[in-house]
Structure 1
């Protein structure tokens, strides 16, 4: 009987063959590029656009964005232009917008509680570009404020002790001369306007650019967030621009001044008549050594 043929050895795995080497896998990015090439070349009539990514840097929406520009004070912007920057056609429409966003008892006290202002004041501030409101609950009122440290040669600073308002009430202040800045107004130009408006009745017709001297390197800026005393329940963000100044011709003792109508030049004179305005300012000199600001 013939002998059986020897058994056939099992096939050797490819990985064990010494004369063959495994090709490294194609990188993922190469496969992706190849797929994209095939896709683009498959049809000459097909257009392909990569989508743009839109990133929202600030999710909070503002009803009016402050546009303070300290390098270009003469922008040609008028109060009438500022009026169109907020969406409220009247103080009533502003009131309707505020009511569901503020505590009812706080909002009801506007213009009623001594020392507070009313919705007509806030509407005028928006119209003049002096204030912005964030579209939030509650809204946040942002104001650019000039704070003037008027000093004399006896190491004293002039403070406004209190104000008399148009409704006959008194409002305590106990702070340096403060004034809301206008749109695109530089701190330097705001200095002369503030002195003229709040101290002009005692300085007469003097040229403020000649009697007001700004102390070099005294400018400072800081931000304060606190509840508004003028508008209870409405949080406020104050961007304070402070400077030290010398003013010639001021009395050496305590005195008071009469301010011109705050919105005398406003196109909305009937609304200005309904607002609470400041009639008199009462001033006192205080030693710098007794203060901590």
Structure 2
């Protein structure tokens, strides 16, 4: 008995359903795309963190100094100058420590102890230790594009120290930049003067170099700089005498052995080639 075309189609359909749905056939292009994807996944370069380090706001020689993650010695660490000396001796070369207060233009151990006592300085526990100081720098503007700089200082031991830099002063703990500027002008330029900070002139930067005041002791300076107008200053070069930097409440000097600045020598210089 011969089968009709309709019966043949029904038979073929029953055969397909018993075998399940037809599986897709993997072609060569599909295999190629899969291989390329796996190759890209496993060969992708890892992030280069060195690229990010290039943009950190630190000078190129910052690696010469210890990181700030180490223990800091501050005002509460040393009860007396002798305690500070005992702590420094195994961490500094004897030649460096012995030159403090002896080499012209340097300060001595007592000065450093006072800075620590006042909270103006901290020391990182390393060999050699790292002295960290916050400093306010005031670029005082004058007539005809002139800028005031301190050309040199006369110290209490009779020596002189060349400076040629704007008015600078170590900042006190918790002191704002504006407060430090006002105090610096009063202490180093004499009497209370009206100070007007130029809006938008504030800058902050980090400098790391060997300390001039304490040879052999590397220093990290956090500089807070502004430009300002100060009323009542002489238009010619002038000299000011500074009040004692470290005094007790009754006005007596706290430590006679410390070296202090006796006189400041100020000079107006051209800030650019357009000076009149």
TM-score (norm 2): 0.72
Q: Is 1:153 the equivalent of 2:143?
A: yes
Q: 1:58 to 1:198 in 2, by over 3 A?
A: closer
Instruction: Name the SS of the counterpart of 1:233 in structure 2.
Output: coil
Q: Could you tell me which residue of structure 1 aligns to residue 247 of structure 2? A: 264
Query: Does the C-alpha gap of structure 1 residues 58 and 235 become closer, same or farther in structure 2, counting only changes over 3 Å?
Result: closer
Select 1:131's aligned residue among 113, 121, 125.
121
Q: Which of the residues 164, 167, 187 maps onto 1:177? A: 167
Distance, in Å, in 1 between the alignment partners of 2:251 and 2:109 is: 14
| Residue 270 of structure 2 corresponds to residue 280 of structure 1 | no
**Structure 2: how far apart are the matches of 1:145 and 1:266?**
24
CA gap of 1:171–1:58, structure 2 versus 1, over 3 A, is closer
Match of 2:214 in 1: 231
Unmatched 5+ residue regions in structure 1? 1-56, 65-84
| Aligned residue number for residue 88 of structure 1 | 78
Q: Which residue of 2 aligns with 1:244?
A: 227
CA shift in 2, pair 1:257/1:97, >3 Å: same
Out of 113, 117, 132, the residue aligned to residue 107 of structure 2 is 117
Residue 93 of structure 1 deviates from its aligned partner by: 1.1
Cα distance change on mapping 1:275 and 1:62 into 2, 3 Å: same
Q: Within 5 A, what are the aligned runs for 1:193-212? A: 193-200=183-190, 204=191, 206=192, 208=193, 211-212=194-195
Contact 1:111–1:117 under 8 Å retained in 2 = yes
- Contact 2:136/2:171 (8 A) holds in 1: yes
Partner secondary structure for residue 289 of structure 1:
coil
**Contact between 2:73 and 2:123, CA under 8 Å: does it hold in 1?**
yes
Once the two structures are superposed, what CA deviation does each residue of 1:184-212 show, in whole Å capped at 9, x if it has no partner?
Answer: 00001111110000011xxx4x4x3xx21
Aligned in 2, Cα 1:233/1:289: closer, same or farther, shift over 3 Å?
same
Q: Which runs of 5+ in 2 are unaligned?
A: 1-66
**Aligned partners of 2:251 and 2:186: how far apart in 1?**
23
SS in 1 for 2:181: helix
SS of the aligned residue for 2:188 comes to helix
- Aligned partner (choices 178, 182, 185) of residue 192 of structure 1: 182
- Number of residue-to-residue matches in the alignment: 208
In the TM superposition, residue 272 of structure 1 has moved relative to its aligned partner by 2.1
What's the counterpart of residue 60 of structure 1?
A: 70
Structure 2 counterpart SS, 1:125: helix
Query: How do residues 204-223 of structure 1 correspond to structure 2 at under 5 angstroms?
Result: 204=191, 206=192, 208=193, 211-223=194-206
Cα RMSD between the aligned structures? 2.1
Distance 1:89 1:63 in 2: 12
Q: TM-score, normalised by structure 1?
A: 0.68
Displacement of 1:268 in angstroms is: 11
Query: CA, structure 1 residues 120+58, in 2 after alignment: closer, same or farther (shift >3 Å)?
Result: closer
